[in-house]
Structure 1
């Protein structure tokens, strides 16, 4: 694929996760590389991804350290300032070595437009915004307030859309935000969902040792953060174990994050620590072992404005592995999962627990729901259905 007689060259900038750990970014990057683009990525280091530079699948990855994993306003200010410094430094490094024609910015945070805008207006580079999270709502979910910082988030969001020539939304709710709040023309917003890749999400034999001698395993994968609702899940576990007397259920929680230690302490305070395994961030093989062993998978994301509009990767990963799901009744979660999930009353941990019990007591229903989810992924949601949409967005970007 040519651009003025040369390969189209794209520089991804990601602040919150390393590549290739960030699956959406890696799927987009490899799709572009396979389509003939020259791809570079700037991202932070992380556990298992400590090398500052490496080439994987012909994609050049430039990583930088961050001073800390932010928690609180001062921490975020320090993290974002350091990230912007390294993003500028490494962008110039790429510019003067491999070169790039376009920047693909992945939020959060909504500050990468500063880098993208600089290179767009001073060097004529193209700028595409890949909208992963609705950042003002993310701030509200973390800190439960709409203050000056919330208004600053709204301003940064609007400036990001104003700087971008083309934007990508992960679902129709995000497309509406881009148009209504960001002022993007509707024909320049492309919905590219985070569909799973089935060659990664393999169905393998369960590892019964993960059940810790109990009959059932409830599985979860995701970030251990304040807005992910793990506290609801732990209270649901307490209700099942202490109130219902169900000592035959174990919980396997895969993922890392700023709240991991606090959640482990909370499980101890609730008296359910012996029934919960926190793995932290682990390689894919260990993640797959936990999810394939699970009888039911859960998404306890709190019902709020952010989660209502967001498509969670974990939902489609569960579906790809043919797992029945329990989650709260959220708009985009319901759109993705359909009949592969039961939906608890919003933010009601006891109803969430009852839905888990309903599935554990009905193996036929679990099988039916799991098959529905996997078939939906195979026929509609797998990443191969999203690849042409991504390439269409890039054709528009380079035509502008």
Structure 2
């Protein structure tokens, strides 16, 4: 029996909604279960730009936010602004529509418990939805070691765990962190895996012209930040050419992020510009065209404290499209993809290139891997299972 539906307020700072697909899936799952759902998030730059919109019954309140630049100090400025706007909008929602029953905060940053704390005084329950392990994110992104700021983000994570009535983890690795590092009681931690909206990833007829005259198309989909491994992918493509002697491919990198221009410059330095295409962010219809045409998809996230234990959305989306994957050896990559991927030694671009070349020569194996991946996301890793876990977590707040 699910929790009696009430009013849920979802807080997210990392992306706009519905562009943040996980938050959108959570919002619509709660809506379908009878909850009145409000979301507070930043405005997008090219989409999700309206300050307020009611979309498919979900009420989305957005605020302006400048992305961080200049290292940790830039993030402190961004997060301070986001925290102020989130608190301001939460108070407005309370005044205009009434009390909130559940505050559902999606990190990063691990500061949103401060907004939740003020609402808890008026009876709201607090759900901490841990999308990222921020201490590991700090170590992986900035390479500064366990310095004063690292210790500060650890304290904020502990405060978020302590404040939570329920913790949602994206996978079992994150759940173990909540239990061991956070000291959260096992009955308060629920795994709600990220899963692609399968209806969004319906294959269309391949378009050979997207291969730019080559027999094969390699595809990367995702964010391009310091920890996302696009530099490793480009170095692996250079090794594919120089060490494996393969030039029978065109590669497309779909997405954007902090290192987008830096990655374009790296492609130039590696003499890959004539075989590598950067699209930036593109509409879903175009994304599906590229993925439908792709022969192999790349998941080059290097092993670091964050990536080893994180579920990569790109991996799930490749699987939804029935595509074989080349990945580095990461604990949670294997949990997600299983035999839908081949795994190079962690951060070894030469082996990544070698495995890519082997798959290029084996279309039957590629087809088998694609079928395995599609079956996994339509079955045990589907959002249908995740939605049940989400509603069970909400039920535990009572």
Q: Residue 160 of structure 2 aligns to a residue in which SS?
A: helix
Runs of 4+ in 1 over 6 A off after TM superposition: 1-4
Shift of 1:212: 1.4
Aligned to 1:16: 14
Shift of 1:172: 0.7
Q: Which has the higher contact order (CA 8 A, sep 6+)?
A: 2
Aligned to 1:127: 126
Q: Output the CA distance in 1 between the equivalents of 2:40 and 2:69.
A: 19
Aligned to 1:358: 358
Give the superposed CA RMSD. Answer: 1.4
Aligned to 2:152: 152
Aligned to 1:49: 48
Aligned to 1:369: 369
Aligned to 2:89: 90
Aligned to 1:378: 378
Q: Residue 380 of structure 1 aligns to a residue in which SS?
A: coil
State yes or no: 1:234 paired with 2:231: no
Unaligned runs of 5+ in 2: none
Q: Residue 396 of structure 2 aligns to a residue in which SS?
A: helix
Q: Residue 277 of structure 2 aligns to a residue in which SS?
A: strand
Shift of 1:278: 1.1
Aligned to 1:342: 342
Q: Deviations over 1:317-340 (max 9, x none)?
A: 111111000000111100111111
Q: Deviations over 1:26-47 (max 9, x none)?
A: 0000000000000010111112
Distance change >3 Å, CA 2–CA 340, structure 1 → 2 = closer
Q: Output the CA distance in 2 between the equivalents of 1:335 and 1:393.
A: 22
State yes or no: 1:171 paired with 2:171: yes
Aligned to 2:274: 274
Q: Deviations over 1:201-253 (max 9, x none)?
A: 11111222221111111111111000011111000111122343322211111
Distance change >3 Å, CA 27–CA 71, structure 1 → 2 = farther
Q: Output the CA distance in 2 between the equivalents of 1:246 and 1:3.
A: 57
Q: Deviations over 1:291-350 (max 9, x none)?
A: 111100111001112111111111111111110000001111001111110000110001
Aligned to 2:141: 142
Shift of 1:3: 7.5
Q: Output the CA distance in 2 between the equivalents of 1:318 and 1:239.
A: 23
Kept after mapping to 1: 8 A contact 2:3/2:395: no
Q: 1:1-400, aligned counterparts within 5 Å?
A: 7-46=5-44, 47-99=46-98, 100-120=100-120, 122-144=121-143, 145-397=145-397, 399=398
**TM-score, normalisation: structure 1:** 0.96
Q: Output the CA distance in 2 between the equivalents of 1:8 and 1:19.
A: 21
Q: Output the CA distance in 2 between the equivalents of 1:384 and 1:70.
A: 38
Distance change >3 Å, CA 271–CA 2, structure 1 → 2 = closer
Worse-superposed segment, 223-232 or 92-101: 92-101
Q: Deviations over 1:349-395 (max 9, x none)?
A: 01001111111110000001111111122221110111111101001
Kept after mapping to 2: 8 A contact 1:219/1:296: yes
Q: Output the CA distance in 2 between the equivalents of 1:341 and 1:307.
A: 16
Q: Output the CA distance in 1 between the equivalents of 2:262 and 2:114.
A: 34
Distance change >3 Å, CA 27–CA 349, structure 1 → 2 = same
Q: Residue 226 of structure 1 aligns to a residue in which SS?
A: coil
Shift of 1:102: 1.2
Q: Output the CA distance in 2 between the equivalents of 1:98 and 1:341.
A: 48
Worse-superposed segment, 132-141 or 213-222: 213-222
Q: Residue 199 of structure 2 aligns to a residue in which SS?
A: coil
Q: Output the CA distance in 1 between the equivalents of 2:361 and 2:124.
A: 57
Kept after mapping to 1: 8 A contact 2:3/2:394: no
Shift of 1:256: 1.1
**TM-score, normalisation: structure 2:** 0.97
Shift of 1:2: 9.6
Q: Output the CA distance in 1 between the equivalents of 2:324 and 2:71.
A: 36
